[in-house]
Homo-oligomer: A and B are copies of this chain.
């Protein structure tokens, strides 16, 4: 990508960079354009950034929704060259260089960064999209929390339903999300919910973690993996290796082995694919429906357009797709922004290089695993130190000073009291379906008893 910039990227007026998505990639791209003589427009269907690594804590009553979300406009209060537009990007008019929004409006751009992220992939398993839970957005996490608490309320009113799997919680996928969720669930069930529901037979509550391969946390070293498995089993999680889901039906999970587990709650943490926007754009895709990009993250033949984060099909030296994690998104967002600045200065663009910091996952109270990359010394932490390191890193990256303070206070409270404050059963409407007009709202979002 060292060809000279095309003239239309540098018009006489201030060039306009449109960034689609206010996730890690979009947020860090916009921040990297802080001092640039550019107009930046950030578009997202939500007016807030969601700190996805902590969604599992919202789903398990550890944190409030507001603790892991931060208003996009607030994040950029002091960055004068950023504007925000709440909307859902559904396409791009490449001829006229406009991003098309779901409401039919559009926004022109001189340069573009696509950071729409990923969605869960069902890998073709029947029933998953209809009946499984996913941890990809705030409303879903809050609803999963309400759904879990509602199972317990129901079991209290009708204990005979426990026999049909009312209190069986199945997690598919032994990666960080599955492990963190399993660990947080047994803590929630064994402590706060035991106190809340003294009338229930708590030994009948089950947390089952299904993993297709023979190990948890495949991205980690042997000792971390064994440690994670041992801690989860010690805390009461049923680990099932070599277990593949064949189908989901209301109230039951069928495994490839033919075994059926009765459960009303299946969390699908088995993997993600690129956001449907990728297909809608008609661009060339890689495995996992990610958009194929040049080494500098630009679109082939469209040097003014970049892709960053989970949506980008960028590959490392070995030709492998980068993992869809926050650190890659952050670094790619910054990289894309820097390439736009280089083109503005008529400098050749640079290939993206991932600076691997390592991997970490939390298993539960006092138990975490962290493996720093060799560049950072190659330390491996397990147990209390791994847990502490995880807390520290997540506090540092959580956007907003107030959120950091509140999350810290909540964690300290949870840790010291063994309690979980957030136990309201309150269902959210999906963000994509938020009513645009007040009258669309009237029928759906209000109490029926009046």
Residues in chain A within 8 A of chain B (CB atoms): 46-48, 64-66, 69, 71, 73-74, 77, 83-88, 105, 119-120, 129-131, 134, 136-140, 143, 146-147, 149-150, 153-154, 156-158, 195-197, 199, 250-251, 264-265, 275-276, 402, 406, 409, 413, 421-439, 441-442, 444-450
Give every chain B residue within 8 A of A143 (Cβ-Cβ).
441, 445-446
Q: What's the least CB distance linking A209 to chain B, in Å?
A: 19
Please name the residue on chain B nearest to A131 by beta carbon: B442
Contact A447 B140 (CB under 8 A): yes
Q: Which residues of B contact A435 (CB under 8 A)?
A: 427
Task: Tell me whether A447 and B427 are in contact in the complex, defined as CB-CB below 8 angstroms, given that A66-B421, A74-B196 are known contacts.
Answer: no
Chain copies in the assembled complex:
2
List, in ascending order, chain B residues with CB within 8 A of A447's CB: 119, 136-137, 139-140, 430-433
Q: Would you call B442 and A431 a contact (CB within 8 A)?
A: no
Q: Is the interface of A mostly helix, strand, loop or mixed?
A: mixed
**16 contacting pairs across A/B (C-beta < 8 A):** A47-B423, A47-B424, A47-B425, A64-B66, A71-B196, A73-B196, A77-B196, A85-B157, A86-B156, A105-B158, A131-B442, A134-B450, A139-B447, A140-B445, A143-B441, A265-B438
Q: Smallest CB-CB separation from A83: which chain B residue?
A: B199
Contacts of A195 in B (CB 8 A): 77
Q: How far is the CA of A66 from the CA of B149 in the complex (A)?
A: 15
- Chain B residues with Cβ below 8 Å from A130 are 439, 442
> When chains A and B are docked, how far (Å) is the Cα of A192 from the Cα of B423?
29
